[in-house]
Structure 1
Amino acid sequence: MSKHERWNTLLELLASTGRLEVDEAASALAVSPATIRRDLDELAEQRLLVRTRGGAVPQGVSYELPLRYKSSRHASEKQRIAAAVAGLVHEGEVVGLNGGTTTTEVARALALRFGTGRAETHGASPAPALTVVTNALNIAGELAVRPQIKIVVSGGVARPQTYELVGPLAAGVLDEVVLDVAVLGVDGVDPELGVMAHHEDEAAISRLFAEHASRVVVVTDSSKMGRRAFARICGLDRVDVLVTDAAIPAESMRHLTDAGVKVITV
C-alpha cells in the first residue's frame, strides 16, 4: 500500500470513527505503528487532523475530507452515475455543475461525449458542442482544454476542501445565466427537507444553479440517502431526476418517486 493510499484510508477511518488510535490503525492497515505515527504527523502538518497522545482526532468541529482524499470513495459507483448523467445531456445545451467528486466525474463523462470531434460552425466561429457553467475550479481546469466545450466560471472565494467558488461574486455570475440543466452533487437527501450540503455558502450557490435551470439532476451515491446535512439547497419538488447506484434503500426510492422525482439507478 502506497503512502497516498494509506493517507486516504486513515482519513476515511477518522471521518467514520471520529478518532484514530495508532495501534488500531496499524493493525487495520497491516503496517508498523511507527509508519502510522509518521503518517499522522505528516497529515497533522497539512492540517488534515490533530495529533493526540497515541493517535489523532479530526481537525475542527465539522470534519470534511478535502476533495483529493475523497475521490477514491465509492469511485466505481460515481463513474457509473456520471456515465448515466452524460446520456441525459443533449448537444448544444448549457449545463451547470457544482463542485464535488461526483460532479467531477460527470464533467469527465461529458468531456468524453462532447469534447471530441468537430463542432458545427456558424460563419467563422465554431459552435460549442456544450456549454458548462461551474463554480468548481478543478472542473473548469479539466474542461478548459476541450475546445468543443465552452467553459463559464463563476467568480468568488475558493474553498480549499472542495475547490468551489462561493460568495456574492459567484452568485452575481449565476444570476445572469440561464441553464438547460443543473447537475448537483449533494451531501444529503431527506424526504422532508430535500437535498442538502454541509456548508451554507455552497448550498446557496447550488440553490442558484437549481433556480436558473430548466431541469435539475441530482447525482449522489446511495450512502447519502436519508442523510441530513446542515444547509438546505432545495426541496424534492425542484428535482426532476436523481441518479444513484443500485444500493438505494427501497424506502428512499419510494419517497423520491412519491415526490415526483424520476430515479435512475446504475
Structure 2
Amino acid sequence: MFLKERQNAIANMVKSNGRVAVADLAEQFAVTVDCIRKDLRQLESQGALKRVYGGAISITETPERTVYKRFSTNTAEKQAVAAKAYDLIAPGDIIFLDISTTNLELARLLATGHKRCIVVSNMMDSLQVMAENPALTVMCPGGNVSLDLNGFVGTLTIANLKPITFDKSFIGAIGIDLLTGEVSTFEMDDGMVKHTVLENTDQVYLMADSHKFDSRGNYNFASLSEFEGLITEAVTTKQKKALAKFDIELI
C-alpha cells in the first residue's frame, strides 16, 4: 500500500470509529510505530484528526465550548472525581473552584455538606449552588462576564484573585496531552485565570475525568508538573505509565 493510500485509510478509520491507536495501526498496515506516528502528524497538519497519547481522535469529538452543553456529559465520572476532591477539603480551608462542570459537581457536594470553609469561584452556577449552605463563605472575584462559560474572566478577575493565597484550588481542563504534559482549555481568558490561581495556591489539584486524556483545547495554560495531584476516576495501565514521568500524584 502506498503512503497516500495508507493515510487516507487511517483518516477514514478515524472518521468512522472516532479514534485509532498507533499500535493497532502499525500491526494492521505492517509498518513501524514511528511510521504511523509520522502519518498521524501529517494528517493532523491537514486537519484530518487530532493526535492524542497513543493514537488519534476525530476532530468532531472535540468537546463543546459552551459550558452548559457539557453539563450532561460523563456525569458519573465527574461525580466520582468530585467525591475524591471533596475528601481533600478540610474545615477552615480557603479554596478556589474554577469554571468547570466537574467543579460544579464538587460545588454540589459542598452545598450539601457540613464543612465550614471559604470558597471562591468565578463560575456562576457553582456560586448559586453553594450560596444555599450557611456553613460556607462564598465569594466571587467579579470581572467580565463570559456567556459561553457562564462565569467571570478577564483582567479584573485576575487582579482580584492575585492577592489571595488559597490553601487548595481545584482546576478543570478541556484536555491533557500525555506526551507533553500540557494541560489545555478553549478560552485564553479562562486559561489565564487558571494559571493565576496556580501561582498563589499551596496545593493545586487538576480535576479531570478519563475522557480528558483523549481531548485537547486551544490554549495550554499549565503543565502537569505544576499540580500537586491529578484527580481522576480511572486510568489505564498505559496512561498511568505515561503519567509517571511527570511530578504529579495520581489520586
| TM-score (normalizing by structure 2) | 0.71
2:226 matches 1:262: no
Q: Percent identity?
A: 24
CA distance in 2, matches of 1:70, 1:242: 21
Q: Secondary structure at the match of 1:161?
A: coil
2:82 matches 1:82: yes
Task: Report the counterpart of residue 222 of structure 2 in structure 1.
Answer: 234
| CA displacement at 1:65 relative to structure 2 | 4.8
* Aligned residues between the structures: 191
Q: Secondary structure at the match of 2:244?
A: helix
Alignment check: 8 A CA contact 1:164 1:202 kept: no
Aligned positions of 1:52-201 closer than 5 A: 64-114=64-114, 129-191=116-178, 192-201=180-189
| CA displacement at 1:69 relative to structure 2 | 2.5
Q: Give the residue type in structure 2 aligned to 1:209.
A: V
Query: How far does the alpha carbon of each residue in 1:109-151 deviate from its partner, in whole angstroms, 9 at most, with x for none?
Result: 1223336xxxxxxxxxxxxx11111111111111112111111
RMSD value, Cα? 2.0
| CA displacement at 1:63 relative to structure 2 | 7.8
Q: Secondary structure at the match of 1:162?
A: coil
Query: How far does the alpha carbon of each residue in 1:198-241 deviate from its partner, in whole angstroms, 9 at most, with x for none?
Result: 11110000111111110111111111115332111211121111
Task: Report the counterpart of residue 5 of structure 2 in structure 1.
Answer: none
Q: Give the residue type in structure 2 aligned to 1:81.
A: V
CA distance in 1, matches of 2:114, 2:184: 29
2:202 matches 1:211: no
| CA displacement at 1:152 relative to structure 2 | 1.5
| CA displacement at 1:164 relative to structure 2 | 2.0
Q: 1:212 to 1:195 in 2, by over 3 A?
A: same
Q: 1:158 to 1:80 in 2, by over 3 A?
A: same
Query: How far does the alpha carbon of each residue in 1:42-95 deviate from its partner, in whole angstroms, 9 at most, with x for none?
Result: xxxxxxxxxxxxxxxxxxxx9835323311110111111111110011110011
CA distance in 1, matches of 2:162, 2:226: 18
| CA displacement at 1:257 relative to structure 2 | 2.6
Q: Give the residue type in structure 1 aligned to 2:93.
A: E
Q: Secondary structure at the match of 1:84?
A: helix
Q: 1:140 to 1:164 in 2, by over 3 A?
A: same
CA distance in 2, matches of 1:227, 1:63: 7
Alignment check: 8 A CA contact 2:231 2:250 kept: yes
Q: Give the residue type in structure 2 aligned to 1:150.
A: T
CA distance in 2, matches of 1:219, 1:130: 20
Alignment check: 8 A CA contact 1:86 1:113 kept: no
Q: Give the residue type in structure 1 aligned to 2:228.
A: D
Alignment check: 8 A CA contact 2:83 2:109 kept: yes
For structure 1, the 5+ residue unaligned runs are: 1-15, 18-61, 116-128
